[in-house]
Amino acid sequence: MRLDHLEIFAVAPPAPGWGGRYWLIVRITTACGITGLGEVYAAGVGPEVMNAVINDVFTRHMQGEHPENIELMSRRAQSSGFTQRPDPTVFGAFSGLEIACWDILGKARERPVWALLGGRMNRHLRAYTYLYPEPHHNPVAFWTSPEMAAESAANRVAEGWTAVKFDPAGPYTIRGGHMPALSDISLSAEFCARIREAVGTKADLLFGTHGQFTPGGAIRLAKAIEPYDPLWFEEPIPPDNLPGLADVAAKTSIPIATGERLTTKAEFAQALRYGARILQPALGRAGGIWEGKKIATLAEAAGAQLAPHLYAGPVEWAANVH
């Protein structure tokens, strides 16, 4: 059995469009006709350029190889061009292709992929949901309305969700960290207060920021929302400022979560060293299922937890569950 043929599909998310601008689904076919699906989560370049990267990674490092040899193919991709360091574009391409290899192996062995990774640990997994507008909400006003967010949260809890995520501190920006306005801090605290009032202790609050603040700004914001006991404070500062992450972690009781924009075990090991306590690898970027298993082991040894990130499609979701 060897990897033979690659197809790439750029898929628009179904309406209303949550889950990214597009999903990049890959399908690998072996020489003996077994197919496997994977998903690439790497949006630093457009889909046409990303398609070329995916094709290049497959052709140079994977085509003709046995799908079992995942460690070998991973090291080839990471070391290509005398790099041997994390690259979210190249390793994002490899991540989706790696997920497809596991799909092939499961089909070939007639076993679910989790059976090839040490077996099933949990019969049920806890999940969270992002808060989105209800059908009767104004879809523009929703993002700055604590009242609408609280209503959406109460409805999600009624459906059975036990954690809800929201990010009212302002949209993602290109700046390398800024100080939040007092109005942003006040609005964030109001969101937390209203949502906590709506859900009580039936759901945890997950507070995101898209990595947009300075360490000092993140600490100010953390103090304002601490009374509402969020389960995590996600990406409080840009992902490359690890000493700043340690500063934030030391000055708040809220566990720090990060990892959506990180790739490979090397970057996650550093995040743990600097205070992250909830790791959020996106398996379509971080290296795939095998690299994700390594990251989970690092977290376990450090007393941290794993909450795989998903702002992509159903194939990465399936990989995250494994």
Q: Is the residue at 123 inside a domain?
A: no
How sure is the predictor about 42, in pLDDT bands with cuts at 50, 70 and 90?
confident
Q: Is the residue at 122 inside a domain?
A: no
The strand pairing partners of 23, in sequence order, are: 11
Tell whether 134 and 258 lie within a shared domain: yes
200: Cα separation from own chain's centroid: 27
Distances (CA, A) of 125 to 81, 182, 265, 308, 320: 40, 38, 23, 12, 11
Tell whether 310 and 206 lie within a shared domain: yes
Tell whether 245 and 221 lie within a shared domain: yes
281, 92 Cβ separation under 8 angstroms: no
CATH code, domain with 178: 3.20.20.120
Tell whether 140 and 241 lie within a shared domain: yes
**Straight-line distance from the first to the last Cα atom of the chain, in angstroms, rounded to the nearest whole number:** 24
Q: What is the pLDDT of residues 242-292, one digit of tens each?
A: 999 999 999 999 999 999 999 999 999 999 999 999 999 999 999 999 999
Tell whether 311 and 279 lie within a shared domain: yes
Tell whether 277 and 134 lie within a shared domain: yes
Global confidence as pTM? 0.95
Tell whether 64 and 166 lie within a shared domain: no
The DSSP code for 110 is: T
Can you give the residue range of the structural domain that contains 62? 3-116
- Residue 234 tokens, joined: 């996600």
What's the total number of domains in the chain?
A: 2
Tell whether 165 and 265 lie within a shared domain: yes
Instruction: Decide which of 116, 140, 167 is a domain's last residue.
Output: 116
Q: Is the residue at 263 inside a domain?
A: yes
Would the pLDDT of 172 be above 80?
A: no
Q: Is the residue at 176 inside a domain?
A: yes
How sure is the predictor about 162, in pLDDT bands with cuts at 50, 70 and 90?
very high
Instruction: Decide which of 78, 94, 116 is a domain's last residue.
Output: 116
Side-chain-side CA neighbours of residue 141 (13 Å): 8
Tell whether 135 and 282 lie within a shared domain: yes
Q: Is the residue at 124 inside a domain?
A: no
CATH code, domain with 30: 3.30.390.10
Q: Is the residue at 136 inside a domain?
A: yes
Q: What is the pLDDT of residues 180-222, one digit of tens each?
A: 999 999 999 999 999 999 999 999 999 999 999 999 999 999 9
Tell whether 92 and 172 lie within a shared domain: no
Tell whether 159 and 263 lie within a shared domain: yes
pLDDT on residue 55? 97
Tell whether 317 and 252 lie within a shared domain: yes
Mean pLDDT calculated for residue range 142-164: 98
Instruction: Decide which of 90, 116, 142 is a domain's last residue.
Output: 116
